[in-house]
Amino acid sequence: MMSLDFICQHPQVVREALERRRESYNIDEILRLAEQRRGLITRTDGLYTTLKGVREEVRNTSGEKRAGLNKQIKAIMREIRQLELQVSDADTRLRLLIQTLPNLPQHAVRDDTDVELRRWGESAAFQFQPLAHWELGERLGILDPTSAAQVAGSRFMTLRGYGARLERALLSFMLDLHTCEAEYIEVIPPFLAKRSVMLGAGQLPKFEEQAYACTMDELYLNPTAEVALVGMHTDSILMREELPLRYAAWTTAFRREAGSASRYQRGLLRLHQFNKVELFQFTTPEQSYSAHEQMLLHAEQVLRLLELPYRVVELCALNLPFAASRSFDLEVWLPSLQDYIEVSSISNCESFQAIRANIKYRPQNGTRAEYVHTLNGSGLAVGRTMAAILELNQQADGSVVIPKVLRPYMGTALIGPVKR
């Protein structure tokens, strides 16, 4: 979230940056309310000064004059209370308005064209007609959308046998890689979050309709581990020597995914419930830009070890996630779509989430605390990664070869067709 001071001091900078996102964000109401709030505070401060003088006069007065001064004090106090209520109302309205504003794009981010930065790997040409992963998975008996629909409705998936084991293998492999080689701290956070935590991470109010809410308890099912990782340090001041603080968290993510493209609604591509390993860092402002490039390489390493062809795309301002100031997408090749699909979005949010969640660090002992920078990225989304493994490693007989790095976790090198 942007600070009110920044918006008021640099309104044109904010307007121009928001225009780059091509959405209608009007800050005039924020500026008007801020000016009104300043006027109310000035009047309140003036009344407190008057009140102090009248109280001083009361101490030096007696008799009927004191009674009159006491009436004056009560009148001033009533007016102060009314003004303070108006200030509180203006604060609430300002906060609600500012919470709807997205992060400002970094200057280096292009306005309206994503840029492909590089590609890695090549998909081998099939000497047979390959199957989409949802067809392949059902034939292998590892993906079962029918039973999932009986339990929870559409856009859920039951994993069976080697399908369940492959999911577990991917989670374990990713967590081992990130914690042992890149020295992230492994975290399994709560799968439910308070509204205040969702607000701090930038999920609300923007994505209210996409979230699953437990209204009786005022809790939300996590749409991403990013929410819980921000929430772990809400209203805290970190020590300078703690930074960068790196977390690798596994959670099941829950999203309504309303209005998603129909071509992604089959198989494992856009489910309401899916597993994901999330990479997250808290850094100082000067560390965050190199940390962003570093996190991208950490996520890329997963795809390289799995030998999955992919590309790296830098998102333009038009396509940036709500909380991000700069983002890279990792997209893996999927033969069934003849296209690349996103398996990770690695974002630098700068101080946007830290301001919303009030997370600071102290550069040195005795110095003023400053806001940290936060960065997040999938390392990776497990379902889509599994879809790519199935499609890219399928054989003519309907079997699937398991990537070498997963075989110790799987206990097999091949998933074969189900015998009927």
**Mean pLDDT to the nearest integer, 94-118:** 95
**Buried (b) or exposed (e) across 82-91, using 16+ Cβ within 10 A?**
ebeebbeebe
Residues comprising the binding site? 224-226, 255-257, 278, 342-345, 376, 378
pLDDT of residue 332: 98
Element (H, E) at 80: helix 64-99
79 domain residue, yes or no:
yes
If one counts the domains in the chain, the total is 2
- Whether the model pTM is above 0.85: yes
Check if 255 is active-site.
yes
Q: Are residues 238 and 121 in the same domain?
A: yes
Active-site residue (options: 345, 350, 351, 356): 345
In terms of DSSP bridges, do strands 236-239 and 359-362 run parallel, antiparallel, or are they unpaired?
parallel
Q: Indicate whether 145 and 26 sit together in one domain.
A: no
Q: Based on the domain organization, do 194 and 333 belong to the same domain?
A: yes
- The domain of 78 spans 4-99
Same domain? For 208 and 331 the reply is yes
Q: Say if residue 77 is in the same domain as residue 121.
A: no
263 and 194 in a single domain? The answer is yes
Task: Give the mean pLDDT of the chain.
Answer: 94
Q: Indicate whether 60 and 122 sit together in one domain.
A: no
Q: For the purposes of burial, counting CB atoms within 10 Å of the CB of 62, is it exposed (0-12), middle (13-18) or buried (19 or more)? A: exposed
Residue after which a domain boundary falls, among 99, 126, 146 = 99
Residue 17 above 90 pLDDT? yes
Matching residue, tokens 């008021």: 8
**Which residues does the annotation place in the binding site for ATP?**
255-257, 342-345
Q: Is residue 371 part of a domain?
A: yes
Catalytic residue among 155, 165, 246, 270: 270
Which among 57, 186, 307, 342 is annotated as catalytic? 342
89 and 148 inside one domain: no
Q: Could you tell me if 40 and 174 lie in one domain?
A: no
Tell me whether residue 84 is one of the annotated catalytic residues.
no
Q: Is the pLDDT of residue 259 over 60?
A: no
Of the candidates 155, 246, 255, 356, the residue annotated as catalytic is 255
Give yes or no: 29 in active site: no
The structure tokens listed for 354 are 């830290």
> What is the per-residue pLDDT for 260?
57
Residue 269's domain is classified under what CATH number?
3.30.930.10
**Residue 342 is a catalytic residue:** yes
Binding annotation for L-serine:
224-226, 255, 278, 376, 378
pLDDT for residue 263: 64
325 is annotated as an active-site residue? no
| 63 and 165 assigned to the same domain | no
Q: What is the pLDDT of residues 176-194, one digit of tens each?
A: 999 999 999 999 999 999 9
Residues 199 and 122 in one domain: yes
| 109 belongs to a structural domain | no
pLDDT tens digit sequence for 375-401: 999 999 999 999 999 999 999 999 999
Structural domain contains residue 174: yes
pLDDT of residue 418: 64
